C-alpha cells in the first residue's frame, strides 16, 4: 500500500469555538457554519451523512442533501420506499453529520423524524430540474435492478409517459423528512487533539435549550 495511513494526520489550527462565539440558537449557528462552508468553496456544503437503524438495530449511513433548516429541524428529500425511509418509519429516529473537513469542522445532530407536509414537499419539488423529477419517477430507490439497460429503459418509459405533461406531479412515493434535533454538537478542530466541542441540548421537560462543552 502506497498510502501510509499511520502517518496521515492534520494538526488543526484554523479556528476556535467558544460559547461566546455561538449564535443564540442551534439553527442560526448551523446556518452560519453552512454559509461559511459555502463561502470557503467546500464541495457540496449541504451534503450530510444520515445514520438510521433498522428494526433489528442494524445501523446504516448514506449521504443526503440538506434542503431546509429552521427552528423546527432540518429537511432532506428522498424516496419513501427506500431503505432509509423504511428505517425512519419504524424507529422515527435519525442522526446526521455535516463533515466540513476543509474547515476542520463537523456538526452532528440527532432527534425524532417526521414526514414534511405534502405542500412543503411540492414547494421543493417544483424547484427541481425536470430530469431529476423524471429520475424520481423512474427509480424505485434501493430495490434490485437487473442491469444498467433496465434502469435506462425505466427512464425512457418515464420520459414517454410525461412527454405531454408540462408540470410533472410529485410521485406518491417521494417527499421530505424533517429531523427535529434534541441535540446539536458543533466541533472545531484544535491543536494537540484538544478540540472545541459545544453542544446544544434540549431539556426533555420544558424543551428549553442549553449549551455545554464536551471534552474532546
Ligand atoms: C453527495 C450526495 C448527495 C446525495 N443526496 C441524496 C438525497 O438528497 N436524497 C437521496 O435520497 N439520496 C441522496 N444520495 C444518494 C444516497 O446516498 C443513497 O445512495 C440513496 O439515498 C439510497 O440510500 P438507502 O438505500 O440507504 O435508502 C446522495 C449521494 C451523494 C453522494
Q: Is the CB of 26 under 6 A from ligand 1?
A: no
Contact indicator for 200, 109 with CB cutoff of 8 Å: no
Task: Please identify every stretch of the chain with a pLDDT value under 50, giving residue numbers as ranges.
Answer: none
Q: Which atom of ligand 1 is nearest to the CA of 86?
A: 27
Q: Which atom of ligand 1 is nearest to the CA of 78?
A: 11
Retrieve residue 169's grid coordinates: 406531479
- Give the model's pLDDT for residue 205: 85
Give the chain's domains with CATH numbers: 5-126+169-213 (2.30.110.10), 130-166 (no CATH)
Using CA positions, which residue lies closest to atom 7 of ligand 1? 64
Dist. CA 173 → ligand 1 center (Å): 15
Ligand 1 pocket mutation pick from 49, 64, 96, 124 by most atoms within 8 angstroms of CB: 64
Contact indicator for 174, 159 with CB cutoff of 8 Å: no
Dist. CA 207 → ligand 1 center (Å): 31
In degrees, rounded to 5, the angle at the alpha carbon of residue 24 between the alpha carbons of residues 47 and 18 is 80
Contact indicator for 99, 189 with CB cutoff of 8 Å: no
- Give the model's pLDDT for residue 2: 82
Q: Is the CB of 63 under 6 A from ligand 1?
A: yes
Dist. CA 49 → ligand 1 center (Å): 9
DSSP 106-133: EEEEEEEEEEPPHHHHHHHHTTS-HHHH
Distance, CA of 121 to CA of 127 (rounded, Å): 10
Using CA positions, which residue lies closest to atom 22 of ligand 1? 142
Ligand 1 pocket mutation pick from 48, 78, 91, 139 by most atoms within 8 angstroms of CB: 78
Q: Which atom of ligand 1 is nearest to the CA of 83?
A: 27
- Give the model's pLDDT for residue 179: 98
Q: Which atom of ligand 1 is nearest to the CA of 142?
A: 25
- Per-residue pLDDT of 60-90, as tens digits, reads 999 999 999 999 999 999 999 999 999 999 9
Active-site positions? 193
> Residue 68's Cα: distance from chain center in Å?
10
- Give the model's pLDDT for residue 3: 87
Retrieve residue 151's grid coordinates: 434502469
Amino acid at each position: 500500500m502506497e498510502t501510509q495511513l499511520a502517518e496521515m494526520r492534520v494538526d488543526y489550527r484554523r479556528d476556535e469555538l467558544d460559547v461566546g462565539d455561538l449564535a443564540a440558537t442551534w439553527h442560526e449557528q448551523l446556518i452560519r457554519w453552512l454559509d461559511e462552508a459555502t463561502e470557503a468553496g467546500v464541495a457540496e456544503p449541504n451534503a450530510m451523512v444520515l445514520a438510521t437503524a433498522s428494526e433489528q438495530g442494524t445501523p446504516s449511513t448514506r449521504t443526503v442533501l440538506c434542503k431546509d433548516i429552521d427552528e423546527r429541524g432540518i429537511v432532506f428529500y428522498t424516496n419513501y420506499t427506500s431503505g432509509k425511509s423504511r428505517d425512519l418509519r419504524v424507529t422515527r429516529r435519525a442522526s446526521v453529520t455535516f463533515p466540513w473537513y476543509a474547515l476542520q469542522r463537523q456538526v452532528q445532530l440527532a432527534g425524532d423524524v417526521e414526514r414534511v407536509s405534502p405542500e412543503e414537499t411540492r414547494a421543493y419539488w417544483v424547484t427541481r430540474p425536470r430530469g431529476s423529477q423524471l429520475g424520481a419517477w423512474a427509480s424505485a430507490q434501493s430495490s434490485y435492478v437487473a442491469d444498467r439497460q433496465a434502469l435506462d429503459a425505466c427512464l425512457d418509459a418515464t420520459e414517454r409517459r410525461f412527454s405531454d405533461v408540462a408540470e410533472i406531479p410529485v410521485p406518491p412515493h417521494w417527499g421530505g423528512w424533517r429531523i427535529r434535533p434534541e441535540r446539536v454538537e458543533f466541533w472545531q478542530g484544535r491543536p494537540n487533539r484538544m478540540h472545541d466541542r459545544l453542544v446544544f441540548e434540549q431539556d426533555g421537560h420544558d424543551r428549553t435549550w442549553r449549551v455545554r462543552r464536551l471534552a474532546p
